[in-house]
Structure 1
Amino acid sequence: MNFPIYYTMSGYRFTIFILIIGSVSPIFSQNHWDDYIAEKNIGNTYQVFGDNVNLRDSSNLNGKVIKKLSLGNQIKILTKTNQILEQNSVKEHWYKVQAGDETGYLWGGLIADYSFPLEDLTILCKNLGIKSGKLELKILRDSKLVSQGSFEVGPMSNETWNHTIYNAKLFSPSPKVLFAIKFLIFSEIEYGYSNEQVFILNQDLKILPQFSWNPGACDPPACAETWLVFPKETLPEDQKLGRKQYKGKDNTIIELMHSFDIDEPNQHDYYQTEYKWNGIRFQKKEN
């Protein structure tokens, strides 16, 4: 079976790695991201994150209501205004948008930051702002809300979003869906790092967070990379990297981190973490 490689690091191993690169990297002042305001991309299409949302004729709460928008409605960002509103710790710009045949103004806090289809569902993602450090998800089916939840992930940027849908049938009893959302987290050491948060949907469509992975990084001379081994997969031996062969285990995701120093080609350290599926969640086991 061809083996897919994912470059990731577990949370606690990433902490170790940060301590390593801290000796060779300048440390920014604490909370250098405090003034960051998440922004939407001009010209892109997004989905409405709220329900019964007012599309207005001006960029403020006193603007006349042109149209009511529903959860999941599509809108296109035309321009960003200089008007900023903060509500419930979410601080965002107002935008001029196209909603069907109407053009008007909508506050960014009512617009999903990222969305994607998943089987017969749609996943809406919302960055709840630097102050809260939370990610909110809403699950739609036929434009109807079927599940939602907010999860602490840290101070998020809107610069990078992506997702991965994994094969839930590799695990027994299978969750309905196994997926991950990738986003950028601000860091004290560097500008930021990508974080991938894994979720499952159970048979009742409840969102259950599992574990997060942080992509490998390199701040010479210290570097790290990680491979994931799923059931029925094999990570081949690599003598150059000093890595032995790893075979997937039933109902388990193996995470193997490789840390190395580019100035010391014979120095290779490996750390293994296992996530064992118990039918409800992936339980972490460190070796």
Structure 2
Amino acid sequence: MRLSTLLTTTFALSRGVTAFWKGLNVGANNPDGSCKTQAQWETAFKALAGLPPKFTAARLFASSDCNTLQNAVPAAIATGIKLLVGVWTEDAIHYGAEKAALEAAIKAHGCDWMMAVSAGSEDLYRGDTTAATLAGQIHDVRGMVQDSLGCKKVKVGHVDTWTAWVNGANTDVIKACDFVGNDAYPYWQGSTISQSSDVFWTAMNQTRDVVNKVKPGTLVFITETGWPVTGSSFGSSVPSKANAQAYWKSVGCAALKQAHTFWYAYEDYSSNPSFGVIGQNGKAIYSLTC
């Protein structure tokens, strides 16, 4: 057993967590750019549930864009999929629309369809805001969700890259979070596929170490990782179906046992590189059996 795997297994056991959400990142736009209808959301969620790991959750990037929650929540309820909701925090008008969409969804459907809410996504990585501002927005969203709307059990946190979480300038955001969502891609670090497992778990463990020091007891979710099936190489990282399969076997299967995990991504076949799990024929591009 690799040291990185041993460390993550020990961490999971020490937290006393025995069951984790298994999810995929699902965008509100179809590959052709159109917005998903309620029926298309339901098709996507049924596909998730039908894949070998039996995915139980989906991560959404926004709430108001493309009427995401208006269409996705009824589909999630119909299929039994839980949602990690995204609230886009940048630009006051957009932020207000996002909060309003989440409020409307909760008033219409209650709280049980949510597993958690992320206020923002990779804002710190992009340098688009300050830690103090983002922390304030996390508290603001939590106040609405947990206090005003009564969803006491729904955790509110933030999703960002591992490099942002280990940056000491961002500790105010960790303190504000009920959970920390961690994005880590060995592909974007120029890793070879043989190095990728150790590169990923090193990043994950560094984030966990920082979070545990700043706010002990805070869970770290794996909110984005994956390997592209097609597209351009990045350093020593080479996209291919075989490498995506190998990365799933070495990282994905272990991750599902150690943290709430959201693989990237459901459909992505129009991008370069393409990280999509589901191809144009509606079937998995590579096996997700563990």
Greater RCO (Cα-Cα under 8 Å, separation 6 or more): 2
Bigger Cα Rg? 1
Bigger fraction of residues in strand = 1
* Fold shared by both chains (TM-score > 0.5): no
TM-score by length of 2: 0.22
TM-score (normalised: structure 1): 0.22
